[in-house]
């Protein structure tokens, strides 16, 4: 498909072409833009699997930041613990006309990025997709096709950039509430799938649901003290939302655990604990879960480095 009628073909760079970065890069390519993906582990082809549909996207794949020039849009989609390692990419890609969209979970996405891209504008984005990196450049999209950004001069321009991409950009009128609502989901589902080594079907277990409610109530109290408008109804709705996932969907933290990669707990449950300490709020469940995630040993893996763990029954 060629460029859409309203938005000209634009040069965009996506740093980190894993689950989220791969899906976003494929969408921008579909919209007709000139997409460069900046990767650490080289691959030849970006391939998105969505149910039985497999699509291939001939985006430009680069591993060397010195090959690049500043662009209008940079989408940063590395895990929060890898943000600093993206510094060389950001130096090459950003000038005063660049906007960096930070596609990460948590409530502190843009912290630390400004130092790495001092001349660029920054936009935090809340990503509403479920995707799994099966191999470098090979991604399975489970559900979802949108992300949210705060209202601002960039919001309309970003929405236009994604026209014809199959992804929508929505405006979060109340960013604090939207961020804490998304964090409530992530501190429960990411941590509990990673700890139990089970996919979303684990939320059919009454005890796990009870624990998830406790974690979310703590986060809701902390977010509330920081201005998020969250009630017990939001907590219950967030728990109910776990039933919307297919039973064999996982979370980004579960996939990291299965692959023996670091876990993003510090940006999720760790952030709840940090903010709670500043506010003098007790969050024992989030403290316990953070301690457990931080103490996990790498999994025993099979000959090909594949964890000895069955998929969902
Ligand atoms: N997966 C999901 O469904 C969702 C994830 N999120 C959030 O989105 C963010 C990204 O997660 P996700 O896409 O799942 O993560 P992935 O681990 O799938 O992808 C991250 C990618 O970043 C790459 N990377 C890391 N450091 C660098 C670097 N310095 N230069 C270039 N590439 C680099 C990794 O490369 P390598 O291949 O070498 O490891 C990997 O391909 C996280 O904050 C996550 O919480 C939000 C909503 C949904
Ligand atoms: C749980 C999910 C898929 C929600 O979008 C997510 O954010 C993640 O896996 O990190």
CA 83 to ligand 1 centroid distance, Å: 10
Cβ of residue 18 lying under 6 Å from some atom of ligand 1 = yes
Quick: pLDDT tens for 163-216: 999 999 999 999 999 999 999 999 999 999 999 999 999 999 999 999 999 999
Percent of the chain residues topping a pLDDT of 90: 91
- What lies within 8 Å, CB to CB, of 12 at 6+ separation is 28, 33, 34, 35, 36, 71, 72, 73, 74, 75, 161
Percent of the chain residues topping a pLDDT of 70: 93
CA 190 to ligand 1 centroid distance, Å: 14
Which atom, in ligand 1's list, is nearest to the CA of 190? Answer: 45
CA 15 to ligand 1 centroid distance, Å: 9
Q: What is the mean pLDDT of residues 15-24?
A: 98
Q: Does residue 307 have a pLDDT over 80?
A: no
- pLDDT value for 313: 43
User: How far apart (Å, rounded) are the C-alpha atoms in residues 269 and 106?
Assistant: 9
- What lies within 8 Å, CB to CB, of 110 at 6+ separation is 102, 122, 123, 124
Quick: pLDDT tens for 132-158: 999 999 999 999 999 999 999 889 999
Q: What is the mean pLDDT of residues 101-116?
A: 96
CA 9 to ligand 1 centroid distance, Å: 26
Residue 94: other Cβ atoms inside 10 A: 22
Our mutation pick for probing the ligand 1 site, out of 13, 20, 93, 193, counting the most ligand atoms within 8 A of Cβ, is 20
User: How far apart (Å, rounded) are the C-alpha atoms in residues 210 and 176?
Assistant: 25
Backbone angles phi, psi at 136, to 5 degrees: -55, 125
Q: 126: which 2 tokens?
A: 């809340």
CB 58 within 8 A of CB 30: no
With cut-offs at 50, 70 and 90, classify the pLDDT of residue 217: very high
Q: Which residues pair with 169 in a beta bridge?
A: 147
CA 81 to ligand 1 centroid distance, Å: 10
Question: What do you get for the CA distance between the two ends of the chain, in Å?
Answer: 39
Whole-complex ipTM:
0.99
**Which ligand is in closest contact with the Cα of 102?**
1
Quick: pLDDT tens for 256-286: 999 999 999 999 999 999 999 999 999 999 9
**Which ligand is in closest contact with the Cα of 140?**
1
* Residue nearest to ligand 1 atom 35, measured at CA: 40
Cβ of residue 12 lying under 6 Å from some atom of ligand 1 = no
DSSP secondary structure, the chain, as one string: ----SSS---EEEEE--SHHHHHHHHHHHHTT-EEEEE-SS--S-EEEEETTEEEEE--EEE--GGG----SEEEE-S-GGGGGGGHHHHHHH--TT-EEEEE-SSS-TTTTHHHHSTTSEEEEEEEEEEEEEEETTEEEEEEEEEEEEESSHHHHHHHHHTTTTT-EEEEESSHHHHHHHHHHHHHHHHHHHHHHT--GGGGGSHHHHHHHHHHHHHHHHHHHHTT----HHHHHHHHHHGGGS-TT---HHHHHHHHT----GGGTHHHHHHHHHHHT---HHHHHHHHHHHHPPPPPB-TTS-BS-----
CB 121 within 8 A of CB 99: yes
Q: Which residues pair with 73 in a beta bridge?
A: 12, 99
**Which ligand is in closest contact with the Cα of 245?**
2
Quick: pLDDT tens for 220-258: 999 999 999 999 999 999 999 999 999 999 999 999 999
Q: 308: which 2 tokens?
A: 């000895």
C-alpha distances in angstroms, 261 versus 78, 184, 187, 299? Answer: 13, 23, 18, 10
- pLDDT value for 12: 98
CB 41 within 8 A of CB 10: no
Q: What is the mean pLDDT of residues 81-87?
A: 98
Q: Among candidates 3, 226, 16, 4, which has minimal Cα distance to 100?
A: 16
Catalytic residue among 69, 79, 182, 278: 182
Could you tell me the maximum CA-CA distance found in the chain, to the nearest angstrom? 54
Tell if the pTM clears 0.90, that is, is over it. Answer: yes
User: How far apart (Å, rounded) are the C-alpha atoms in residues 140 and 132?
Assistant: 5
Q: What is the mean pLDDT of residues 36-42?
A: 97
Which atom, in ligand 2's list, is nearest to the CA of 131? Answer: 3
- pLDDT value for 310: 47
User: How far apart (Å, rounded) are the C-alpha atoms in residues 298 and 292?
Assistant: 13
Q: 177: which 2 tokens?
A: 């509430």
**Is residue 69 annotated as part of the catalytic site, yes or no?**
no
Q: Does residue 306 have a pLDDT over 70?
A: no
């Amino acid at each position: 498909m060629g460029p859409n009628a309203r938005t000209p073909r634009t040069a965009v760079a996506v740093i980190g072409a894993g689950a989220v970065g791969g899906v976003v890069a494929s969408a921008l390519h579909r919209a007709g833009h000139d997409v460069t993906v900046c990767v650490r582990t080289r691959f030849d082809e970006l391939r998105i699997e969505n149910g039985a549909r497999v699509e291939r996207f001939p985006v430009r794949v680069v591993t060397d930041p010195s090959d690049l020039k500043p662009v209008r849009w940079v989408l940063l989609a590395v895990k929060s613990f890898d943000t600093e390692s993206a510094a060389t990419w950001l130096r090459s890609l950003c000038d005063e006309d660049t906007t960096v969209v930070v596609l990460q979970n948590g409530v502190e996405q843009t912290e630390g990025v400004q130092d790495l891209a001092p001349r660029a504008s920054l936009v935090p984005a809340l990503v509403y997709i479920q995707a799994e990196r099966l191999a470098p450049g090979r991604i399975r999209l489970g559900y979802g096709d949108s992300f949210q950004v705060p209202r601002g001069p960039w919001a309309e321009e970003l929405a236009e950039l994604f026209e014809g991409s199959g992804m929508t950009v929505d405006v979060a009128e109340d960013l604090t509430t939207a961020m804490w609502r998304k964090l409530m989901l992530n501190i429960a589902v990411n941590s509990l799938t990673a700890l139990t080594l089970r996919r979303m079907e684990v939320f059919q277990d009454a005890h796990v649901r009870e624990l998830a409610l406790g974690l979310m109530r703590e986060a809701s109290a902390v977010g509330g003290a920081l201005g998020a408008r969250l009630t017990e109804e939001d907590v219950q709705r967030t728990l109910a939302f776990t039933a919307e996932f297919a039973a064999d969907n996982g979370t980004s933290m579960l996939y990291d655990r299965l692959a023996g990669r670091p876990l993003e707990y510090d940006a999720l449950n760790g952030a709840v604990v940090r903010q709670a300490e500043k506010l003098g709020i007790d969050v024992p469940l989030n403290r316990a879960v953070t301690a457990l995630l931080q103490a996990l040993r790498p999994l025993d893996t099979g000959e090909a480095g594949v964890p000895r763990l069955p998929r969902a029954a």
